[in-house]
Structure 1
Amino acid sequence: MTITPFAGPADSAAYFSARLAFHTDVADVHAALTAGAAGFTVVDSRSTAAWDQGHVPGAVHLPTAQIPQLAAEFLDPARPVVVYCWGPGCDGATRAALALATLGYRVKEMLGGIEYWVREGYEVETREGTRRSAPDPLTAPVDGADCGC
């Protein structure tokens, strides 16, 4: 048993359903983009230097501090947004998602950020062109297979 009691099944279902409404992961975003059926816009909320270092192909660069001024210029308010920042140790994507939601956008945060995008072996665009790293065996199957989750 744990120190804190387990929630009941109905409370657990409500919590996990809500969590999935607010978060997505890099594998799901990659799969949707690869299939050409994303139905959302990917936003990189990091600085220009970070963007140049590497970003999700096709993403829109919209640094968090500039969202209030520039969102309407770069985003369709009828299209949902998936936002990311550096990684799980950074709240930048959470702040960007809050800024977008405050402006009326439907938004999800991509868990893992660009760190896990790279660690799972997905291609990134950089100032010098595209690159891909080998999958990290601690985060993704090294044979390119689906993780089964």
Structure 2
Amino acid sequence: MSLPATPAAVVSHVLAFPAPTPEQSCDYMAAKLSYHADAWDVAEDLRNGIEAIVVIDTRSAAHYAAGHVPGAVSFPHRTMDAQSTAQLDRSKVYVTYCDGIGCNGSTKGAYKLARLGFQVKEMLGGLDFWIRDGQPVATGPEPGRMPAARPAIECAC
């Protein structure tokens, strides 16, 4: 009679690289939150009339007119330079967005603005995640206004 074979040592794919210390995690997560905002938080700030942020749609004017975050300014990243940004208020934080995770227009816009000396954040998931959160969409060439009413869907985070 033979004994059952002992199983091979199980290797953790998650722990193949050691987890950071709590302090390292805290520093990293704080830095990550400094660079990004999610659609829900942006919507709440727009609803609450927070004037310290300006939301920028970095897509083309045609895409903006087809549907955008209410209150967002159309400023295609391809047109951003020292001259086109000269009138922007340097005391504001500019939150850029584009179509979604398959588009890097918001990253390009944030990069260009930061390079020109502006404080920026990028809205995670762009207009796609905005719509998934049940937030309203404005159409046409004007920014529109964020309605005071919250969507029936509540943020799950």
Give the 5 Å matches for 1:18-57.
18-57=31-70
TM-score, normalised with respect to structure 1 = 0.83
Cα distance in 2 between the residues matched to 1:78 and 1:38: 10
Unaligned residue ranges in structure 1 (runs of 5+): 131-141
Unaligned residue ranges in structure 2 (runs of 5+): 1-11, 145-150
Structure with greater contact order relative to length (CA < 8 Å, sep ≥ 6): 2
Could you say which residue in structure 2 is the equivalent of 1:145?
Answer: 154
Cα distance in 2 between the residues matched to 1:21 and 1:33: 18
TM-score, normalised with respect to structure 2 = 0.79
Could you say which residue in structure 1 is the equivalent of 2:134?
Answer: 121
Could you say which residue in structure 1 is the equivalent of 2:148?
Answer: none
Give the 4+ runs in structure 1 shifted more than 6 A: none
User: Residue 70 in 1 paired to residue 84 in 2?
Assistant: yes
Q: Indicate the structure with greater helix content.
A: 1
Cα distance in 2 between the residues matched to 1:128 and 1:7: 47
Percent same amino acid among aligned pairs? Answer: 40
Q: Indicate the structure with greater strand content.
A: 1
User: Residue 10 in 1 paired to residue 3 in 2?
Assistant: no
Number of positions where the alignment pairs a residue of Structure 1 with one of Structure 2: 136
Cα distance in 2 between the residues matched to 1:128 and 1:21: 30
AA in 2 matched with 1:17: A
User: Residue 79 in 1 paired to residue 95 in 2?
Assistant: no
